[in-house]
Amino acid sequence: MFEKLSIAAVYPEVLLAVMAIVIALVDLFVKSPRRTLTYALSMITIGVVAYLEACAASQGQTVYSFGNMVVSDPMGSWLKCFAALAVMVTLVYGRPYAADRDMLRGGEMFTLGLFALLGMFVMISGNNFLVLYLGLELLTLSSYALVALRRDNATASEAAMKYFVLGALASGFLLYGLSMLYGATGSLDISTVFKAVASGQIKHQVLVLGLVFVVCGLAFKFGVVPFHMWIPDVYQGAPTVVTLMIGGAPKLAAFAMTIRLLVEGLLPLAVDWQQMLMVLSIGSLLIGNLAAVAQTNLKRMLAFSTISQMGFVLIGLLSGVVNGNTAAAANAYSSSMFYVITYVLTTLATFGIILLLAREGFESEEITDLAGLNQRSPLYAGVMAVCMFSLAGVPPLVGFYAKLSVLQSLIASGQSGAIALAVFAVMMSLIGAFYYLRVVKVMYFDAPITATTVSAGSDVRVVLTINGALILILGMLPGGLMALCARAIVSTLGT
Amino acid sequence: MGLLSLAIWTPIFFGAVLLAFGRDEYAKTVRWVALIGALVSLLVTLPIYAGFDTASSTMQLVEKAPWIERFNVFYHLGVDGLSMWFVLLTAFITVIVVLAGWEVITDRVNQYMGAFLILSGLMVGVFTAVDGMLFYVFFEATLIPMYLIIGIWGGPNKIYAAFKFFLYTLLGSLLMLIALIYLYTQSGGSFDLATWHKLPLAASAQTFLFFAFFAAFAVKVPMWPVHTWLPDVHVEAPTGGSAVLAAIMLKLGAYGFLRFSLPIAPDAAREFAWLMIALSLVAVIYVGLVAMVQEDMKKLVAYSSVAHMGFVSLGFFIFNDIGVSGALVQMIAHGFVSAAMFLSIGVLYDRMHSREIASYGGVVNTMPKFAAFALLFAMANCGLPGTAGFVGEWMVILGAIKFNFWIGLAAASALIFGAAYTLWMVKRVYLGPVANDHVKELTDINAREFLVMALLAIAVLAMGLYPKPFTDVMDASVADLLKHVALSKLPQ
């Protein structure tokens, strides 16, 4: 039993947990308002963790440890690596913003950020219902606190309250669903659950009832219709840096958790959950896109845009199994994985620009605040334009290939109505193009309302430029990342 | 790097350099770099013509490298008789546009020039891509620079025009995307055009594909009744934008019909030829009449573009070699003539800031050199023998008569409308006594404008007097295409 406790597989998690506590302690002795020391420590920690995960991922092995409670496989390692990088970039973009708003005092932002990352890691590598749930709770509890970090700010507090109440409800849903599955299958271990469900000896109705609650809980985490209500309010109300913390990396974790629960655990029920995902996806595409058109607040618009983008992710997830045949599954799930990763990449740059334009006492969260950005700073306008065109799915930007691969897996599945759903999805993305283009229009066609120059620290400038360039470069050479996703999913499903 | 890659990436490289390093403080340098970039880009296309084997109908100068291995997408380029001239035309028009925007554009010069250079490279990419996905990427990517060109440097209602342009064309091409993915699955995982050309497809699948492609290409051409975006966009676009739009971007759609609709879904193409012919005739006749009543010169030329492109789509769907070759010649000729027409209007607009026909009159008295050029281009626009405009229309009409006398007659009647609206505009704008004080103060074209006009005039006349180099290139490929279209692809 002791050999099974191979702690090596969870070194990064351990490191994160230790450093989160160390940083909380060290911060007590840091006086600088910009928290340079703890910031540096956090960045080093996350950097090391990302490196460890990248090493683990490139070895391509699947290791179960702690008595099958956690798994370390290439899919998980890559997602953890990207999540760590995303949090790192978030901190780079967010530090000036947070420092201006007195959010760094006390150093909670770094500690909570690391704990949130740890939560994501656990969600990604959990191989057991309870471990997954634990990871999820660690992530969401840290997120609630992060949203409320500006405790003297009314909108932020309101957002935190909404997020907490709805989030707790969703966690309850998920837990309830998991407990029903536990009752039906007699196990919390995902591989055992899979075997039990696949044996076909368990009453289908019980399983589906549990499944409904699980899907509801996951849908809440993704923020898809009709569990999307919290997204706009929290995106808008939270301090922008926290919005990015919630809207970026955790999507990767939500994707991994969906794969663990629905695919690794409940694949035999695919016919049932694919139908549920289809309803969620259609709703998200419709409501996300239509509601985004009406927004004047940039963060709120991006919130609705997220909802619609997640609708696309679900399209990939629902195309995996056709008539019980799982031949197309790897293709479908890897297209979703590619979609999520590129979405996070684009979201980082988008919010990076918003954070950059925000100054002391000025949030820069209305779309009109971007007016004439091209005249003020062609570079940042260019980065933002690249993001918008990418989100709209225009080639040669990476967002196009994400949509392409998801639609390809949908059409290749050959399910009845696949083409109809594909046509619906592209029509909705046409509506989406309208509001993304409007942002470009404001930046390029309108006259600036302020002549303030846009200034940024060299770290933000460099990272933001690389981030924008990556969206373009991956748009011209998407093959590598696609192959990476495909390999990761294949090795995960293969076990 | 192969010749075709050079033709694509040279302008894009220069464009990127301008975007990265250009500033309005040294606009002069920016203009010269842009001109050098455009000239170099034109120079690298010349060996494509020189090395082209007119006897062969296969793809030439082929370059093939894996691009997205997971989807079996290749960076696969090649030219044949259908596409070769458009590569040169694109590079040529880019030089013209850079020259035409020389002094006119003073705001964000580097972005203006950069956008046109990048656009030029992307359009060459569309004409040379032999991989379905590569084609689509280039085809769609052209929207971004054009959207910015219209929106930043356009007229008063530019924002409406930019959105209309982008969304209208995106709508069509998204449906094409689904068609491409469908073909990819049907062909067992290939985006190769040659594979798709050979792929047997059931009648229902062909119909679906035909209309999905139709959505993309008909909007782009534009064919009646999805042409309504074009006049709005032309009116608001800056002169250079209008010229590129009319001269090349419209051809992307027509070219798409030849590369996708006809060879991939030949049975559907034959079945729905009546519809395409009917729509083309409506464009030729009805839109010609609409052009006649326009008050705005740019709108008039825009409607005349729709009518001229009607000849192109008509030529494609009568399925004989003279018709298809004629349509291709018409595409190139219209590239020269429409660019020249829009640039002429641009010359006037720069001086008077009005596009209304009514604000002009007797321009010939104050701008004799310019009026001479404008008259030549107008003649080419109504298809006077000896100019580029004549050859293509005449061939298409011949082909149409061969196909069906009455269709030929209807198409021929359009020549009368073409002459009517063009000459009437010439009369009202250029001829007669000086209409008002503004016209009195007009100064004739300067050396730069003269150069632009002269280059286009040479092209228009050369093509009209000696079209053989153009048709020679096409013959083999057109014959091959028609042979292919005549065969049924229905599964036996």
ipTM computed for the complex: 0.90
pLDDT of residue A285 exceeding 50: yes
Q: Which of A404, A413, A415 to mutate to test the interface with B (most CBs of B within 10 A)?
A: A404
Provide mean pLDDT across the span A176-190: 91
Contact present, A144 and A167 (Cβ < 8 Å): yes
The size of the A-B interface in CB pairs under 8 A is 95
Domain assignment of residue B477, yes or no: yes
- Counting DSSP H helices and E strands in chain A, the numbers are 20, 2
Residue B441: exposed, middle, or buried by beta-carbon count in 10 A (0-12, 13-18, 19+)? exposed
Contact present, A186 and A170 (Cβ < 8 Å): no
- CA distance to partner chain A, nearest, from residue B448 (Å): 29
Domain assignment of residue B40, yes or no: no
pLDDT of residue A8 exceeding 80: no
Q: How far apart are CA B157 and CA B164, in angstroms?
A: 11
**Cβ of A479 and B177 within 8 Å?**
no
* pLDDT for the residue A326: 74
Domain assignment of residue B409, yes or no: yes
Q: Which residue of A has its CA nearest to B169?
A: A430
Provide mean pLDDT across the span A171-176: 92
- CA distance to partner chain A, nearest, from residue B377 (Å): 33
3-state secondary structure of A126: strand
pLDDT of residue A2 exceeding 50: no
* pLDDT for the residue A337: 93
Helix axes B468-486, B321-352, angle to 10 degrees: 130
Q: Which residue of B has its CA nearest to A372?
A: B152
- CA distance to partner chain B, nearest, from residue A52 (Å): 27
Residues of B within 8 A of A405 (CB-CB) are 70-71
Q: How far apart are CA A16 and CA A10, in angstroms?
A: 10
Q: Phi and psi at residue B82, in whole multiples of 5°?
A: -75, -30
Quick: pLDDT tens for A452-495. Answer: 778 888 889 999 999 999 999 998 899 889 989 988 888 888 75
Quick: pLDDT tens for B309-334. Answer: 988 999 999 888 888 999 999 999 99
Provide mean pLDDT across the span A110-137: 93
Provide mean pLDDT across the span B287-307: 88
Domain assignment of residue A2, yes or no: no
Q: How far is CA A170 from CA A219, A224, A256, B196, B291, in A?
A: 9, 12, 18, 48, 62
Q: Which of A315, A407, A481, A490 to mutate to test the interface with B (most CBs of B within 10 A)?
A: A407
Helix axes B368-381, B388-403, angle to 10 degrees: 10
Q: Which of A33-37, A40-44, B445-449 has the lowest mean pLDDT?
A: A33-37
Q: Which residue of A has its CA nearest to B137?
A: A395
3-state secondary structure of B321: helix
Q: How far apart are CA A365 and CA A362, in angstroms?
A: 9
**Cβ of A407 and B137 within 8 Å?**
no
pLDDT of residue A416 exceeding 80: no
Q: Does B490 touch chain A (CB under 8 A)?
A: no
* pLDDT for the residue A491: 86
- CA distance to partner chain A, nearest, from residue B87 (Å): 20
**Cβ of B159 and A445 within 8 Å?**
yes
Which B residues 17-46 touch A at CB under 8 Å? 19
Q: Which residue has the tokens 């760590």?
A: A84
Domain assignment of residue A61, yes or no: yes
- CA distance to partner chain A, nearest, from residue B69 (Å): 6
Per the structure, the count of domains in chain A is: 1
Provide mean pLDDT across the span B130-137: 92
* pLDDT for the residue A225: 84
* pLDDT for the residue A4: 52
pLDDT of residue A65 exceeding 60: yes
Provide mean pLDDT across the span B104-125: 90
Q: How far apart are CA B189 and CA B184, in angstroms?
A: 5
Residue A449: exposed, middle, or buried by beta-carbon count in 10 A (0-12, 13-18, 19+)? exposed
**Cβ of A419 and B163 within 8 Å?**
no
Question: For B178, which of A395, A407, A412 is closest by C-beta distance?
Answer: A407
Strands B73-79 and B60-68: antiparallel
**Cβ of A426 and B71 within 8 Å?**
no
Peptide bond into B222 cis (omega under 30): yes
Query: Which structural domain, as residue segments, surrounds residue B416?
Result: 276-492
Strands B60-68 and A70-72: unpaired
* pLDDT for the residue A1: 40
Domain assignment of residue A108, yes or no: yes
Q: Does B256 touch chain A (CB under 8 A)?
A: no
Helices (H), A151-266: 154-185, 190-198, 204-222, 230-237, 240-247, 249-258
What are the beta bridge partners of residue A297? Answer: A366
**Cβ of A396 and B181 within 8 Å?**
no
* pLDDT for the residue A414: 77
Q: Which residue of A has its CA nearest to B16?
A: A382
What type of residue is B279?
Answer: L
* pLDDT for the residue B482: 87
- Counting DSSP H helices and E strands in chain B, the numbers are 25, 2
Q: Which residue has the tokens 């296969």?
A: B58
* pLDDT for the residue B186: 87
3-state secondary structure of A273: helix
The CA R_g of chain B, rounded to the nearest whole Å, is: 21
- CA distance to partner chain B, nearest, from residue A7 (Å): 35
pLDDT of residue A435 exceeding 60: yes
Query: What secondary structure letter does DSSP report for A63?
Result: E
Residues of A within 8 A of B184 (CB-CB) are 408
| DSSP string of B94-152, one letter each residue | HHHHHHHTTTT--SSHHHHHHHHHHHHHHHHHHHHB-BHHHHHHHHHHTHHHHHHHHHH
What are the beta bridge partners of residue A63? Answer: A72
Q: Does B16 touch chain A (CB under 8 A)?
A: no
Per the structure, the count of domains in chain B is: 1
Q: Which of A289, A333, A444 to mutate to test the interface with B (most CBs of B within 10 A)?
A: A444
**Cβ of A395 and B174 within 8 Å?**
no
Tell which residue, B439, B445, B302, has the closest CA to residue B371: B445
Q: Does B108 touch chain A (CB under 8 A)?
A: yes
Residue A311: exposed, middle, or buried by beta-carbon count in 10 A (0-12, 13-18, 19+)? buried
Q: Which of A134-143, A363-372, B299-308, B336-345 has the lowest mean pLDDT?
A: A363-372
Residue A308: exposed, middle, or buried by beta-carbon count in 10 A (0-12, 13-18, 19+)? buried
Q: Which residue has the tokens 């990127």?
A: B16
- Backbone φ/ψ region at B63: left (φ over 0), alpha (ψ -120 to 50), beta: beta
Residues of A within 8 A of B19 (CB-CB) are 378, 382
Q: How far apart are CA B391 and CA B265, in angstroms?
A: 29
Q: How far apart are CA A391 and CA A312, in angstroms?
A: 11
Domain assignment of residue B389, yes or no: yes
Provide mean pLDDT across the span B370-386: 88
pLDDT of residue B271 exceeding 50: yes
Q: Which residue of B has its CA nearest to A474?
A: B68
Contact present, A124 and A256 (Cβ < 8 Å): yes
Number of C-beta neighbours around residue A309 at 10 A: 31
Q: Which of A204-218, A358-372, B115-129, B173-187 has the lowest mean pLDDT?
A: A358-372
Question: For A479, which of B69, B152, B162 is closest by C-beta distance?
Answer: B69
**Cβ of A411 and B181 within 8 Å?**
yes
Q: Which residue of B has its CA nearest to A405?
A: B71
Tell which residue, A367, A378, A255, has the closest CA to residue A314: A255
Question: For B174, which of A374, A378, A426 is closest by C-beta distance?
Answer: A426
Question: For B171, which of A378, A414, A430 is closest by C-beta distance?
Answer: A430
Domain assignment of residue B361, yes or no: yes
The chain-wide mean pLDDT, for chain A, equals 88
Domain assignment of residue B76, yes or no: no
Provide mean pLDDT across the span A116-131: 93
Q: What percent of chain B has pLDDT over 90?
A: 27
Residues of A within 8 A of B141 (CB-CB) are 394-396
Q: Phi and psi at residue B228, in whole multiples of 5°?
A: -65, -20
- CA distance to partner chain B, nearest, from residue A445 (Å): 5
Q: How far apart are CA B449 and CA B455, in angstroms?
A: 10
Domain assignment of residue A1, yes or no: no
Encoded tokens for A200 = 């076909």
What type of residue is B313?
Answer: S
Domain assignment of residue A87, yes or no: yes
Domain assignment of residue B200, yes or no: no
* pLDDT for the residue B36: 92
Confidence of residue A287 (pLDDT cuts 50, 70, 90): very high
Measured CB to CB, residues of chain A less than 8 Å from chain B are 374-375, 378, 382, 389, 394-396, 400-401, 404-405, 407-408, 411-412, 414, 419, 422-423, 426-427, 429-430, 433-434, 437, 440-441, 444-445, 477-479, 482-483, 486
Q: How far apart are CA A308 and CA A301, in angstroms?
A: 11
**Cβ of A411 and B178 within 8 Å?**
yes
Q: Does B334 touch chain A (CB under 8 A)?
A: no
Q: How far apart are CA A167 and CA A235, in angstroms?
A: 14
Q: Phi and psi at residue B77, in whole multiples of 5°?
A: -115, 155
* pLDDT for the residue A5: 57
Residue A7: exposed, middle, or buried by beta-carbon count in 10 A (0-12, 13-18, 19+)? exposed
Domain assignment of residue B419, yes or no: yes
**Cβ of B182 and A419 within 8 Å?**
yes
Q: How far is CA B76 from CA A161, A301, B130, B178, in A?
A: 55, 39, 6, 21
Query: Which structural domain, as residue segments, surrounds residue A403?
Result: 7-494
Q: How far apart are CA A367 and CA A353, in angstroms?
A: 12
- CA distance to partner chain A, nearest, from residue B126 (Å): 13
